Chain A
Amino acid sequence: MSRARILRLDVNGVERSVAVEPQAILLDVLRNDLRLTGTKRGCDMGTCGCCTVNIDGEARLSCLTLAAQAEGKRVTTIESLGTPTNLHPIQKAYSDVGGSQCGFCTPGFIMATNALLVKNPDPSMAQIKEALSGNLCRCTGYIKIIQAVQVAARELAPPQRPAVAVAPRRPRP
């Protein structure tokens, strides 16, 4: 017998209703129910960081978060930042400086970067490394990722566009 109930989640500024079992994981709801597949599933146990999203502006692992825990909070995923033809400065920096190779860890890194730059627009090298230390990348050796964060921080410095703390609220589709 299904024990599913309806959850109302604020995802990228849009209220979404999903029927989920109590044990449903936020990552699965994002990917399978909402088809926001930009958030990646790499380990299901919080060790790789591929599933990093922002919850109320903090970098959070969606594979270790019950969907129910996200109720009443603002969930922001990679899809909220920009599109391929209108990239957010963080995304553009990752693409331009070679901070993304196979791309599988990239959405998680970008969301970790976003959370960092919202809180700390001018991070030091040590702060960048610390903020990204929960995300594994097997392609780049992190060097161009760290460069991307630095480039993005410069781009986002006032008076340019701020990092997306919380996506602007849009009417329900």
Chain B
Amino acid sequence: MSLPPVANPKHDVKVPDVDPEEKWRPYREPLAPGEHPHRPPEGYKILGTRVPLVDGPLKVSGQGVYADDLFLPHMLHAKLLHATHPHARIRAIDVSAAKRLPGVVDVLTGLELGTGHRFGVLPLTKDEEPLAAEKVRYIGDLVAIVAAEDEWTAKEAVRLIRVDYEDLPAVLKPMDGLKPSADKIHPDIGIDETNVQKYVDQEFGDVEAALRKAEYTIRRKWKFQGVTHGFTEPHAVVAHYTAKDRLVLWSATQVPHYVHRALAEVTGLPPHRIQVIRPQVGGGFGGKSDPFPHEMAAALLAMRTRRPVKLLFDRDESFYSGRGRHPTENEFAIALDRDGTLRAMDIEAVIDGGAFASFGIISTYYNGVLSMGPYKVPAFRYKGRRVYTNHIPSGAMRGHGAVNSRCTLEVLLDEAAEELGLDPFAVRLRNLMPAYSHTINDFRITSNGLRECLETVRAASKWDERWRRLPLGQGLGLGCGFYISGSNLPIHWDIPGMPQSTVHVKIDWDGGVTVHTGAAEIGQGSDTVAAMIVAEVLGIPLDRVRVYSNDSDLAPVDLGSYSSRVTFMMGNAARKAAEEVRRELQRAAADVTGAQPELFVCQDDAVVNQADPGMRVSFLDAVRKAMDHKGALVARGSFNSTKMGGTFKGATAGLAPAYSLNAYVAQVEVDLETAQWRCTKVWAAHDCGKALNRLAVEGQIEGSIHMGLGQVYSESLEYRGANLRNPNLLDYKIPTSLEMPDVEVFIVESNDAEGPFGAKEAGEGPLLPILPAVVNAIHDAVGVRMHELPVTPDRLYEVKERQGGWKKPTLPKASVTVKAGGRHR
């Protein structure tokens, strides 16, 4: 797409003199299988097994309490007025009729609230307001909030509000946002006079020279529609300004801590007068990881009315609040040797940010830099632009920033392999990053089980016998993935040294172990893994442990359930807290028996002398001894990431304490009459370091496949002009049980040196490979290359018609000759 440079570049990055071989040289040996510094001396009892979620019985019996299940005394119900114009100044708002409606208690408008209440998830781009103060920026933007005695009255009152808008030119195509504008969507943010919110121009090595000299290059453009999280629980919040002059906010959120910070900023209350409580959350997937305007608006209304206020979204409001995967146009070029060795990668991407910044700075980087792995890239260039438009705000969604670029890259590798006469597995294997090495932009790779993933799915899918050999209409495709296991740099750095996660463990006379953590349980099983880790370290049964993770008054800070950070960071913090308790129990056992503390291990609900197993103190006796004259045992553990990475601008984006890797093979069937297709089987191998809870890891992989398939099958945010056409679950089609293929999951355990007990993430990475695997399988089935998602039957049919029919691709011939420097369009 040949993006022009920005007019006033402030932070281009050019590092021409990288030495790839130096970076790729392993800096340490992998751990031997089964060995790990965190492993209890007597081996694992709980970790590595299949443990049902500790809150499962509550959920399956309908007794789990979600935000909408809260009913407080004297509670008001709130509803929001959303903008009906995509970009317009608010001249006036008439709320008189709404206020006159019996049962209406308060109406708050952005015009009345005024400017000066800005917030946003990233400290550098605070561009959101509780309610639009001067102008609206998309259809769905918040204009006013009404509180009434019941929900119906609040809805009716919203309808009675009249807004006088003065339209401004709307930006509805991201490419238009690259141009200078007199009416910028956010006049004080962004690059030059354009609507570009964030630009990235990076180059490592000499990409032009590598492309010029290459034996083979290939370049492709892709287009991806926006998709949304589609959690089943719409956003919901209850706000209450209590008699103690404290604001309490119950919210369906993945990141209570960021909500806490934003509330302090917006309300002006000191943080200690705010309490954020996370009830059960009905799914997040990134869509509940921003602090939201509606949370702020409900809080302000509760403070004004001095009554509890409940605000529950209708389903369409959850679409309009957005933060889904960016609509994306990108172009990838890669250069390879004839044997498949990767020589250079050149990426351009323009992503549609919609009306707000959200996590956009990070999204912009991720769309390029997360293609640095899992292959050895000796020269790399990335130009990324995130553009403000008058669309629904985009943000973080499962696989944040990496999904679309991964799809482009993996399909491109498939195309390159085909043209070079190579097997797709061979191309991947040739370029694998070694474990414990660095990328050329200084991502520190730790454990790497990709080779095993590839070998596993190749054998399981009978690839060598079936790929290119199935009848026309059936095909196999391969895709790989690479994803961060938590972001190494926290997004706030105002309090130096503040850990990314802290866990408290408390044990009192009853022998029950209370774990306090702020890590948000959103269904992924973080409470369960916290309990499992503490029980493992202390050698006690799981039912001694109870986890409290939902209340900012009780929980030490954790930065929340996003960026696949919880198992790695909270897991390490929980481990350290439990290890501190274990040391106290060892000392107590030593006091009781007179033997040396270091002889004791915690196992089977007791503290046992390893040298003399007959010498044992029960867990409860050890606890009570340790409490003697001191009271309840309390310990804390925390996680701070290691300092690492380059020093150039943006070096920390994509930097993670570990990376997950995976390889999938998908099988599809295409109906040759109608171009209807379905994915029938997926072989999924994922390297999560060590599966602490195998049941939960499988669940994450299967769920990721479902969500990724949705983006290939049917999911797409469709606009007519500035209007979202399908803000409901009928027209926005999420796959049902009928569309879900068989999935065979293979868990690969590369035993990460720094992950808790060897673990890495499994929550987001498993989404990445399914998209390209399916697109590649469609090509194997019918010989049609798709470069746009979703692959609806009409699009597939259209491309087939253009190329003159279905055609089974042929097996690679080793003798294919390729012109040096040949360019393919």
Contacts and interface: CB of A to CB of B under 8 A. Distances in A.
- Asked if A and B are interacting partners, one says yes
A84 B728 contact: no
A87 B142 CA distance: 43
B282 interface: yes
Interface string B670-700: 0000000000000000000000000110110
A142 B703 CA distance: 8
B66 A104 contact: yes
B58 interface: yes
B387 interface: no
B61 A100 contact: no
A92 B59 CA distance: 11
Contacts of A81: 61
B265 to A, nearest CB: 29
Given A94-B60, A106-B60, A140 B703 contact: yes
B59 A95 contact: yes
A81 B705 CA distance: 31
A129 B737 contact: yes
Interface in B276-312: 280-285, 312
Contact of A104 (B71, B229, B233, B312): B233
Contacts of B53: 95, 98, 100-101
A95 B52 CA distance: 6
B740 A47 contact: no
Interface in A75-113: 77-79, 81-85, 87, 91-92, 94-98, 100-107, 110
Nearest to A81: B61
B62 A132 contact: no
Interface residues of A, number: 58
B62 A101 contact: no
Interface stretch (A35-43, A66-74, A154-162, A165-173): A35-43
A145 B69 contact: no
Given A98-B696, A141-B706, A141-B740, A103 B59 contact: yes
A142 B739 CA distance: 10
Nearest to B525: A101
Interface in A107-145: 107, 110, 128-130, 132-145
A74 to B, nearest CB: 18
Most chain B CB inside 10 Å of its own CB: which residue of A35, A42, A50: A42
Nearest to B281: A102
B703 A96 contact: no
Most chain A CB inside 10 Å of its own CB: which residue of B229, B707, B736, B743: B736
B60 A102 contact: no
A101 B699 contact: yes
B61 A138 contact: no
Chain B at the A interface: mostly helix, strand, loop or mixed? loop
Nearest to A131: B737
Interface string A30-52: 01000111111111110110100
Given A100-B56, A101-B53, A132-B737, A42 B703 contact: no
A43 B705 contact: no
Interface residues of B, number: 56
Contacts of B611: none
Contacts, number: 187
B60 A39 contact: no
A136 B728 contact: no
Nearest to A146: B737
Contacts of B234: 41-43
B729 A143 contact: no
A145 B740 CA distance: 12
B52 A101 contact: no
B232 A137 contact: yes
A37 B58 CA distance: 12
Interface string B47-66: 00010110111111111111
A136 B59 contact: no
B703 A139 contact: yes
A94 B62 CA distance: 12
Given A83-B63, A136-B729, A142-B740, A43 B703 contact: no
A99 B138 CA distance: 38
B61 A40 contact: no
A161 to B, nearest CB: 16
A139 B734 contact: no
A50 B68 CA distance: 13
Given A95-B53, A132-B737, A103 B743 contact: no
Nearest to B314: A44
Most chain B CB inside 10 Å of its own CB: which residue of A41, A104, A138, A144: A138
A50 B66 CA distance: 13
Contacts of B695: 97-98
Contact of A129 (B522, B704, B738): B738
Interface string B691-723: 000011011001111110000000000000000
Nearest to A35: B71
Interface of B: 50, 52-53, 55-66, 68-69, 71, 229-234, 280-285, 312, 314-315, 522-525, 695-696, 698-699, 702-707, 728-730, 734, 736-738, 740, 743
Interface of A: 31, 35-45, 47-48, 50, 77-79, 81-85, 87, 91-92, 94-98, 100-107, 110, 128-130, 132-146
Given A40-B232, A98-B52, A110-B60, 12 more contacts: A31-B68, A37-B69, A95-B57, A96-B56, A102-B232, A104-B232, A132-B737, A138-B230, A141-B703, A142-B740, A143-B740, A145-B737
30 contacts: A37-B69, A40-B66, A42-B315, A81-B61, A91-B60, A95-B57, A95-B60, A98-B52, A98-B53, A100-B60, A101-B699, A102-B231, A103-B59, A103-B280, A107-B62, A128-B737, A133-B738, A136-B734, A138-B230, A138-B283, A139-B523, A140-B706, A141-B702, A141-B703, A141-B704, A141-B740, A142-B740, A143-B702, A144-B698, A144-B702
In the complex, the 6 A-B pairs of residues with the closest C-beta atoms, listed nearest first: A38-B62, A102-B523, A103-B59, A104-B282, A141-B706, A78-B62
